[in-house]
A and B are shown apart, each in its own frame.
Chain A
Amino acid sequence: MIQLLRKTNIDFMGKKYYAFVLTAVFLILGILAIIQIARGKANLGIDFTGGTAIQLKFERDITLSEIRNALEDGGLKDFDIQDMPVEKKLLIRVKKEEEILGVVSEKIISILSKSLSGQTITIDSTTEIGPKVGARLRRDAMWAILAAMTGLLIYIAWRFQFRFGIGATIAILHDVLTVLGSFYIMNREINLIIVSALLAIAGYSLTDTVVVFDRIRENLKIRLKEPIEVVINQSINEVLSRTIITSLTTLLAAIAIFLFGGEVIHDFALAIIIGIVVGTYSSIFVASPIVVMWGGKRPFAKK
C-alpha cells in the first residue's frame, strides 16, 4: 500500500490564527479586486465592459510596436494589444461602448490590411458587445454567484447544521475572492468564462469541505467526551490524505488543460488550478475553524 501520508497528527486548529492572517490577506485582495471591478479599473473582459475584441492571425512574424504604431496612425483610440508570438496571433481590444456595432472592427481590419500589405491576415474571431448586453452580463454574473452561494448554504445547512453551512459558505466566498484577487494582481482578464470557472470552483471546493465535515459529524457523534477542537483536529488529520488526493487528480486534469488546452481556455484552467489549491486550504483552515468558533451548543450531541 502506497501512502502519501502516514498517520498524521497536525494541530490544525492550533494554527488557526496564523491561517486567519493569511485568509484575511486573501480576502482583502479579493475585496480590493471587487472594488476595482466596480470602479471599472480592473482588467474586465469586453463581455462585461462592452466594446470590441478582435483576434488576428498573421502569416509572418509581426512586432507589437509595428501594429501599435499602425493602429495609432490610423486614428484608433483606447485600445490594448495582447501578443501571442508563438502562434503569430494578436488580440486587439477596444473597450469603448459603441452604440453601433461593427464600426471599430472594420476600422481595425482596414487600417492593418493597408499598413501591412503583403501579409495575409486571418480573422480568428470578432466579438462585439453593445452597452446594453455588457450591463446585463455584469448583472447576470453577479446574480449567478449569489444564487450559487445561497443554494449551497441552504443545502449544507440542511444536510449538516447551520453553523456548517456558514463555515462552508464563507470558505467558498474565500475561494472565489482569492481567485478573483489573484487574477486582479496578475492583471489577467476577468470575463464570462472566468466567472463560470468561479462557479465551478465554488461547487468543487465544497467537495473537500463536505469530506471534512462528514468526518467531523461522524466523530462528534462518537467522541462525546472530547472537546470539539480536538475532535475537529482529529477528523481533519484522518481525512487529510483523501482531501489531498482528490484535489491532486483534478489538479492533474486542470494542469493538462492549462498546458495543452489552447488559448481559449488557458486562463479558465489557471483559475481552476488556483481554485483547487485554495479550495483545499479553505476546507481545512477556513471552514472548520468557523465551525469551532461559532459557539453555542456542541453540534450533533445526543439529546
Chain B
Amino acid sequence: MKKKFFWRVFLITVTTLLSIIFFLPSTPLFSSMPELWKKYMPHRGITLGLDLQGGLHLVFEVEGDRAVDITLERIAVSLTDILQKKGFKVDVKKDITGISVSPSDMNIRKVIEDNYPNLILSQSSGEKVIYKLSDKETWRIKDSSAEQALEIIRNRIDQFGVAEPTMHRQGKDEIVVQLPGVRDPKRAIDIIGKTAILEFKLLDDENPIAAQLPNTILPGEEERLIKEFAHKIPEDDEILFEKVVEKETGKISKRVYLVKRQTLLTGDYLTESRVNIDPRFNEPYVSISFNAEGAKLFGEITGANVRKRLAIILDNNVYSAPVIQERIAGGNAQITGLFTMDEAKDLAIVLRSGSLPAPLKMIQNVTVGPSLGRDSIEAGKVAAIIAFIAVVGFMIFYYRLSGVIADLALLLNIILLLGAMASLNATLTMPGIAGIILAIGMAVDSNVLMFERIREELRAGKTVSAAVDSGYKKAFWTIFDSHVTALITALVLFQFGTGPIKGFAVTLSLGVSINLFTALIGTKTAFDIILSRMKVKSLSI
C-alpha cells in the first residue's frame, strides 16, 4: 500500500520540479540565479508570440512566372550569341508564347537543342518555331527561385539587424517572415520586398522623340504618358522615370527619360556596396564596386560611350543619369539621388545581398505594436488571477475539504502546463493565454465529475474508501471520453491555425492532457493518503 503511494508521489514531485526548472527562465527570478545554473539548466522558457511582444508577420508570394520569364529572356540572349558565332543569321526573341526562332532549319534546331536540352519544341509554322521550357524545368525554376528568395531575404534581414527572426517557405511559392520587436515596420517590409535589380542602360538622347517628351510630369501620370508615346518610340527603347523631390517644398515630380532597352551591365557583377557621405552637400550616397569581370565591362561601356548619358536603374526606376566624361577604369560607381541616411543604408543592404530571382508580392501583413502586446499581457494576467480566485473559491465553497484537494490539483495543473510549454519552447499568444484561463475552468471539471460520483456512492450507503474507489472507477471513462473529444478539436485547431490560433491549440491540448494526469493521479493520490493515514468516518465533500 505504502509503496503504491511512493511511486505516485514521486512522479508528481519530479514532474513539478521539472516544470519549475523549465519555466524558471520565463520569470524575473532567472536573472538572479547563479551563473552555473544559467549555463547548464534550461534557459529558453516560453517564447512570447508576435501578438504579445509586438512585431511583424509577413507572407510574400514569389512570382515564379516572372522567374521563368527572366530565364527565357536570358536563354534568348545567349542563343542569339551562340547562333551568331556559328554563322547563322536568325532572329531569336522571347515573347509571350516562349522563345521564337525564325527562320529555322534542322541545323539551327540541333544547335538550340544541344545547348538547351530543357527547351521543348511547342509550335512550328513554316520557318518560325517556338520553344518552351519543359514542365519539369519550369517547376524547378519556380522552386529554386523561392529557395533563393528565402536565402536572400535571410541575408538582408541579418544585415538589417533583427533579433531572432524566423522565416520559412510555405506551400510551393510562399515565404513567411516573422520579425519580432521591429520598430519601423515599413522599412523592414521595403528591405525584404525590394527586387533590387540594378541595371545600367544608355539614354537615347539622339532620337528626336526624346526632345518631344516632357521634362517632368506629376506622379500618377506615368501610365498615360507611356500609352501616349507607345507607338512613337522605337521598339528598342522604353520610357522610364526618376522620382525628384524638391528640397524646399517637398513636392514630388517624375523626370522622364527615353532609355535604350538593352541592359549593358547588371548588379550581378557587384562585390561591395556601402554608404558614403558627399562632403559638398552633406548627402549620403551609395558607392558600389564591381568584380574583375564587371570592372572590365564597365570600362568598355564607358569607354565606348563617352559624352553619352548612362542611366543607373533600380527596379525600373532611374536613380541618376550622369554624362560619361571619360572611360572609367577600376570598377567603382556611385548611386546618388537624394537619399535619407536610412534609405541609403537600406539600398546598400539590398544591393549587397543581391537581387531577388523574381519579384515578391506581399499577400499578408500583420503588424503589432509593442504597447498593444504589453496591454494584452497585463489584461491576461488580471483575467487569469480573477478566474483562478473565482474557481478556487467556488470549489472550496461547494466541496469543502475535497474542494481544497481539487484546488491543489488545479495549481499542479497550471504549474505542469507552464512547465510543459516551456520545455517545448512553445509560443504563448493572446488566444493561448485565453486557453490557459479556460483550462483553469476546465481543470476542475474532472474533479467535479468524480466528486459527484463519490457523493452518489456515499448516498447509496458505501463506506468512505469504497465510495472513493468506485467513484473514481466509474467516473474514469466519462473523464477519458470528454478529454479525448476536447483533444480532437484541439488537434484540428493546431492543424488549421496559424500564429495566434496555433498558440491557442497548443495550450488547449497540453492543458487537456495534463488535466487527465492531475485528475486521475493527483487527486486520487491525495485521497488515498488521507484515507490510509486517518481512519476517516465521513468525507468532507
- A positions within 8 Å CB-CB of B: 1-2, 4, 55, 57, 100-102, 106, 122-130, 132-133, 140-141, 143-144, 147-148, 151-152, 155-156, 159, 192-193, 196, 199-200, 202-204, 206-207, 210-211, 214, 218, 238-239, 241-242, 245-246, 248-257, 259-262, 264-265, 268-269, 272
Measured CB to CB, the nearest residue on chain B to A4 is B398
**What residues of chain A lie closer than 8 Å to B505, measured between beta carbons?**
196
For the complex, would chain A's binding face be called helix, strand, loop or mixed by DSSP majority? Answer: helix
Q: Can you show 12 pairs from A to B with CB atoms below 8 A apart?
A: A57-B372, A141-B496, A151-B488, A193-B431, A196-B505, A199-B493, A200-B493, A253-B390, A253-B437, A253-B440, A255-B390, A265-B433
Known: A122-B371, A155-B484, A245-B398. A253 touches B501 (CB 8 A): no
Pair B492/A199 contact, Cβ less than 8 Å: yes
Pair A102/B482 contact, Cβ less than 8 Å: no
Pair B489/A200 contact, Cβ less than 8 Å: yes
Known: A124-B371, A257-B387, A265-B430. A241 touches B366 (CB 8 A): no
**B375-400 Cβ-contact flags toward A at 8 Å (1 or 0):** 11011101110110011001101101
Measured CB to CB, the nearest residue on chain B to A214 is B478
Known: A133-B363, A141-B496, A204-B442. A55 touches B390 (CB 8 A): no
Measured CB to CB, the nearest residue on chain A to B395 is A249
Measured CB to CB, the nearest residue on chain A to B501 is A196
Measured CB to CB, the nearest residue on chain A to B406 is A249
Pair B437/A256 contact, Cβ less than 8 Å: yes
**What residues of chain B lie closer than 8 Å to A250, measured between beta carbons?**
438, 441-442, 445
**Which among B386, B477, B500, B508 has the highest number of chain A CB atoms within 10 Å?**
B386
Pair B51/A249 contact, Cβ less than 8 Å: no
**B465-485 Cβ-contact flags toward A at 8 Å (1 or 0):** 000000000100110011011
Measured CB to CB, the nearest residue on chain A to B505 is A196
**What residues of chain B lie closer than 8 Å to A239, measured between beta carbons?**
452
Q: Nearest Cβ in chain B — how far from A145, in angstroms?
A: 8
Pair A257/B488 contact, Cβ less than 8 Å: no
A128, A129, A143, A249: the one within 8 Å of B391 (CB): A249
A250 vs B394: C-alpha distance when bound (angstroms): 11
**What residues of chain B lie closer than 8 Å to A256, measured between beta carbons?**
383-384, 386-387, 390, 437
Pair A152/B438 contact, Cβ less than 8 Å: no
A140, A206, A242, A262: the one within 8 Å of B376 (CB): A262
A155 vs B481: C-alpha distance when bound (angstroms): 9
Pair A259/B383 contact, Cβ less than 8 Å: yes
**What residues of chain A lie closer than 8 Å to B514, measured between beta carbons?**
none
Pair B363/A261 contact, Cβ less than 8 Å: no
**Which among A159, A193, A199 has the highest number of chain B CB atoms within 10 Å?**
A199
Q: Nearest Cβ in chain A — how far from B285, in angstroms?
A: 26
Measured CB to CB, the nearest residue on chain B to A168 is B485
Pair A211/B478 contact, Cβ less than 8 Å: yes
**What residues of chain A lie closer than 8 Å to B391, measured between beta carbons?**
249, 252-253
A2, A193, A246: the one within 8 Å of B501 (CB): A193
Pair A249/B383 contact, Cβ less than 8 Å: no
A122 vs B54: C-alpha distance when bound (angstroms): 13
Pair B490/A203 contact, Cβ less than 8 Å: yes
**What residues of chain A lie closer than 8 Å to B186, measured between beta carbons?**
102, 106
Known: A2-B398, A144-B496, A265-B431. A252 touches B390 (CB 8 A): yes
Pair B434/A144 contact, Cβ less than 8 Å: no
A4 vs B395: C-alpha distance when bound (angstroms): 12
A251 vs B189: C-alpha distance when bound (angstroms): 42
Pair A144/B492 contact, Cβ less than 8 Å: yes
Interface residues of B in 392-417 (CB under 8 A from A): 394-395, 397-398, 400
Pair B449/A152 contact, Cβ less than 8 Å: no
Pair B365/A126 contact, Cβ less than 8 Å: yes
Measured CB to CB, the nearest residue on chain B to A147 is B492
Pair B364/A133 contact, Cβ less than 8 Å: yes
A241 vs B482: C-alpha distance when bound (angstroms): 17
Pair B431/A242 contact, Cβ less than 8 Å: no
Q: Is B486 an interface residue (CB 8 A)?
A: yes
Pair B367/A127 contact, Cβ less than 8 Å: yes
- B positions within 8 Å CB-CB of A: 51, 59, 61, 185-186, 189, 361-369, 371-372, 375-376, 378-380, 382-384, 386-387, 390-391, 394-395, 397-398, 400, 430-431, 433-435, 437-438, 440-442, 444-445, 448-449, 452, 455-456, 474, 477-478, 481-482, 484-493, 495-497, 500-501, 504-505, 508, 541
Measured CB to CB, the nearest residue on chain A to B381 is A260
Known: A155-B485, A200-B489, A249-B391. A261 touches B437 (CB 8 A): yes
**What residues of chain B lie closer than 8 Å to A199, measured between beta carbons?**
489, 492-493
Measured CB to CB, the nearest residue on chain B to A2 is B398
Pair B434/A269 contact, Cβ less than 8 Å: yes
Pair B365/A101 contact, Cβ less than 8 Å: yes
Pair B387/A265 contact, Cβ less than 8 Å: no
Pair A151/B368 contact, Cβ less than 8 Å: no
* 13 new A-B contacts at CB < 8 Å, known A2-B400, A249-B441: A101-B364, A132-B363, A140-B496, A147-B495, A151-B492, A203-B485, A203-B487, A214-B481, A249-B444, A250-B441, A261-B434, A262-B380, A265-B431
Pair B368/A124 contact, Cβ less than 8 Å: yes
6 closest Cβ pairs, A-B complex: A262-B379, A253-B441, A203-B489, A250-B441, A130-B363, A256-B387
A132 vs B174: C-alpha distance when bound (angstroms): 11
Pair B501/A127 contact, Cβ less than 8 Å: no
Pair A206/B485 contact, Cβ less than 8 Å: yes
A141 vs B501: C-alpha distance when bound (angstroms): 12
**What residues of chain B lie closer than 8 Å to A4, measured between beta carbons?**
398
A105 vs B407: C-alpha distance when bound (angstroms): 48
A207 vs B481: C-alpha distance when bound (angstroms): 8
A210 vs B446: C-alpha distance when bound (angstroms): 12
Pair A260/B364 contact, Cβ less than 8 Å: no
Pair A257/B364 contact, Cβ less than 8 Å: no
Pair B477/A214 contact, Cβ less than 8 Å: yes
Pair B482/A210 contact, Cβ less than 8 Å: yes
**What residues of chain B lie closer than 8 Å to A264, measured between beta carbons?**
51, 372, 376, 379, 430
Q: Nearest Cβ in chain B — how far from A18, in angstroms?
A: 27
Pair A125/B364 contact, Cβ less than 8 Å: no
A211 vs B430: C-alpha distance when bound (angstroms): 30
A102 vs B361: C-alpha distance when bound (angstroms): 11
Measured CB to CB, the nearest residue on chain A to B171 is A136
A129 vs B367: C-alpha distance when bound (angstroms): 11
Q: Nearest Cβ in chain A — how far from B490, in angstroms?
A: 7
A296 vs B372: C-alpha distance when bound (angstroms): 57
Pair A2/B390 contact, Cβ less than 8 Å: no
**What residues of chain A lie closer than 8 Å to B477, measured between beta carbons?**
214
Measured CB to CB, the nearest residue on chain A to B397 is A2
**What residues of chain A lie closer than 8 Å to B386, measured between beta carbons?**
256, 259-260
A10 vs B490: C-alpha distance when bound (angstroms): 35
A218 vs B435: C-alpha distance when bound (angstroms): 32
Pair B379/A125 contact, Cβ less than 8 Å: no
**What residues of chain A lie closer than 8 Å to B442, measured between beta carbons?**
204, 207, 249-250, 253
Pair A245/B59 contact, Cβ less than 8 Å: no
A246 vs B440: C-alpha distance when bound (angstroms): 12
B371, B379, B485: the one within 8 Å of A261 (CB): B379
**What residues of chain B lie closer than 8 Å to A152, measured between beta carbons?**
485, 488-489
Pair B437/A257 contact, Cβ less than 8 Å: yes
Q: Nearest Cβ in chain B — how far from A57, in angstroms?
A: 7
A248 vs B278: C-alpha distance when bound (angstroms): 71
**What residues of chain A lie closer than 8 Å to B400, measured between beta carbons?**
2
Pair A101/B488 contact, Cβ less than 8 Å: no
Q: Nearest Cβ in chain A — how far from B446, in angstroms?
A: 9
**What residues of chain B lie closer than 8 Å to A106, measured between beta carbons?**
186
A140 vs B171: C-alpha distance when bound (angstroms): 14
